[in-house]
Amino acid sequence: MTLRLADPTERDDLGAFTARVVRLDQSAAIHLTAGGGRVTAWARTPFDVLATRSVAGTLDGATSVTAQASSLLTALAVERSAAVDTGPPAPWLDELPPSEGWTRVDEVPAGELDGLAERGLVLAREHAGPMGPPASLLDQTVLTVSPPEAGRPVPVPMRVLFAMSGMGFLGSGPTGGTDRDAPRVRVSASGSWTRLDARYGAVVRRRVLSLPLTVSG
């Protein structure tokens, strides 16, 4: 499959995203979807959270394709023309969130999330077992974001912050301005999904909803 990117800047953006995916998981796959003159890349992180990044471009003759992240990274680094061969197809089994119906909940300073992720990493190292951090730690709610007006609060589990930090999305270095100028992360919700958008990309996680118990007579 041929991927066509609008310009070198878009190539570099997608290359940086792909490099972060490979850094977290050498065997990862990247699912590309095309529409409206843009290509959106999706990847599953080791924290069961999807990471995504959108760039200007198209896919020749298709609306989606899945590639091995390592192969795509090599192609983006080697093929400097506008057309990039995505390589052999790879399987993609993950459900994608809806493209519409999102409601903005609020914005949170990226530095605050970065600090929470750092404290979580300390706990993860202390309690990690052969399979990594325990699920109880990853699923622990570390932040609850409430809309300015009446609305349902959105809980943010630790695994979402780990995914953002691992992908390098929480770049919260000094801006030289006021706190208002500091990088912020937009929190949105759509049905059973939560999405956090930062400067360098976004992460998306399906919330686990509690189902009511019924007793049949």
Give me the residue spans of the domains in the chain: 2-85, 103-206
Average pLDDT over residues 136-164: 91
Average pLDDT over residues 51-72: 96
Q: Which two tokens stand for residue 145?
A: 């974001």
User: Is it the case that residue 210 has pLDDT exceeding 60?
Assistant: no
Per-residue pLDDT tens digits for 92-125: 999 999 999 999 999 999 999 999 999 998 988 8
Burial code of 61-81, b = ≥16 C-beta within 10 A, e = fewer? eeebbbbbbbbbbebbeeeee
**Closest to 3 (Cα-Cα) out of 33, 42, 25, 23:** 33
The pLDDT mean for the chain works out to 88
| pLDDT above 70 as % of the chain | 89
Backbone angles phi, psi at 71, to 5 degrees: -70, -40
User: What span, in angstroms and rounded, lies between the C-alpha atoms of 127 and 134?
Assistant: 7
Least confident span in 24-33, 98-107, 149-158: 149-158
> According to the model, what pLDDT value does residue 172 have?
52
Find out whether 112 and 182 touch, Cβ atoms under 8 Å.
no
> According to the model, what pLDDT value does residue 136 have?
86
User: Is it the case that residue 131 has pLDDT exceeding 80?
Assistant: no
In the numeric block, the tokens 């089994």 are attached to 93
**Closest to 202 (Cα-Cα) out of 54, 23, 33, 16:** 54
> According to the model, what pLDDT value does residue 211 have?
45
**Closest to 170 (Cα-Cα) out of 104, 124, 118, 111:** 111
Helix, strand, coil abundance in the chain, percent, nearest 5:
30, 35, 40
Report which DSSP code applies to 64.
Answer: E
CATH 3.30.360.10 fits 2-85, yes or no: no
Q: Is 133 or 34 the better-scoring residue by pLDDT?
A: 34
